[in-house]
Amino acid sequence: MKRKFLTFLLTLAAVLCLCFALSACDSGNGDVEQGNAQQPEPEHTHSFTADNVCSGCGDKWNYTAGLQYELNNETDTYTVIGIGEASGDVTIPYGYQGKAVTSIGENAFRGDGLTNITIPDSVTSIGIRAFEYCSELESVTLGCGVTSVGDHAFEGCNGLTGELKIPNSVSSIGDVAFGDCSGLTGKLKIPDSVTSIGKEAFSGCSGLTDIELPAGVTSIEIGMFYGCSGLTGELKIPNSVTSIGNYAFMDCSGLTSILIPDSVTLIGNWAFDGCSGLKRIELPDGVTLIGMFAFEGCNSLADIQFRGTVKEWQAIEKESRWNSFTGDYTITCTDGTIDQEDNVTYFEQ
């Protein structure tokens, strides 16, 4: 009986957790906040129309006037194309002239002096370079309708501080989208809704201390976390990733161990080059290629755990200088060990 009751409690807890997880983006701004601009929770979830009025309670969406717009004839919706007469804290409206505002155009706010940006749930796409080099930007609140963040969208926004909250509506993050956002700190959780992350998307985000990658992502693109020197501890790569791109984690000097899952077959050139704090790597037996300079300069490396036999390790194609300037490491295979000079000691049967 006791056990049954415990099972019931655990199930109940799991269901409740799931509800919270699913509602993470249902409550307007509260959960997708970045920075400290917390607004009081409404008593219900507002549902703003293109007139910027909540259809449920009549509250008005307090947006910034004076922005520049362009009508998309095909969709009969508006794109924000410029800051116009606005400045400082900017809140994009749900609608303009009675029609929904659904996107932020290419270069719309590039280099402008805005300090905070709030993007409503009506917006689905953030254009290429939309906020690039907005160095005075301190916080960004992404709405729960955003599905794509364009290439270089927030590159060089080095005034952004705190944790970046990516809503679980986002499916794609473009190349260099958050490159050099060095003020972002804490854990970056990329939700499972994200299936595509571009090259160098978070390169130079040196303040991040931990990352959680989405479960379905199949490749770590070139330079995705290059120079994220604040990452510490163990790096876990989801068991859906098949390739780790060139210089994906180069100069992530704070990482101490890396767990590479069974799904990975390719490790790119310079993938972990300069990871000077790295002591331990676990590699699957399915790896077929380790690129040149892949572990160059990993001068703390002591322990490679290989989930295959000595023969399988020797069969991996390793490109030139994959292991130059590493520490004195031992490779532990399932049937023996190999030291750095390729001397093999088989385990006793």
Could you list the residues that contact Zn ion (CB under 5 A)?
Answer: 46, 54, 56-57, 59
Residue 125 vs residues 105, 129, 222, 233: alpha-carbon distances, Å: 8, 12, 23, 34
Question: What is the rounded distance in angstroms from the CA atom of residue 142 to the CA atom of residue 124?
Answer: 10
C-beta closer to Zn ion: residue 54 or 205? 54
In the Cβ-directed half-sphere of 187, how many Cα atoms lie within 13 Å? Answer: 7
Which residue in this structure is represented by tokens 């040149």?
292
Give the shortest CB-120-to-Zn ion separation in angstroms: 13
Which single residue brings its beta carbon nearest to Zn ion? 54
Residue 29 or 161 with smaller CB distance to Zn ion: 29
Q: Which is nearer to Zn ion, 56 or 233 (CB)?
A: 56
Closest to Zn ion by CB, 42 or 162: 42
Question: For residues 55, 59, 62 and 65, what is the CA-based torsion angle, rounded to 10 degrees?
Answer: 60
Nearer Cβ to Zn ion, position 58 or 348?
Answer: 58
Shortest Å distance, C-beta 51 to Zn ion = 13
| Shortest distance (Å) from residue 24 CB to Zn ion | 19
Shortest gap between Cβ of 50 and Zn ion (angstroms)?
A: 15
**CB nearer Zn ion, residue 62 or residue 135:** 62
C-beta of 165: minimal distance to Zn ion in Å? 22
**Residue positions counted in the chain:** 349
Q: At its nearest, how many Å lie between Zn ion and the CB of residue 140? A: 23
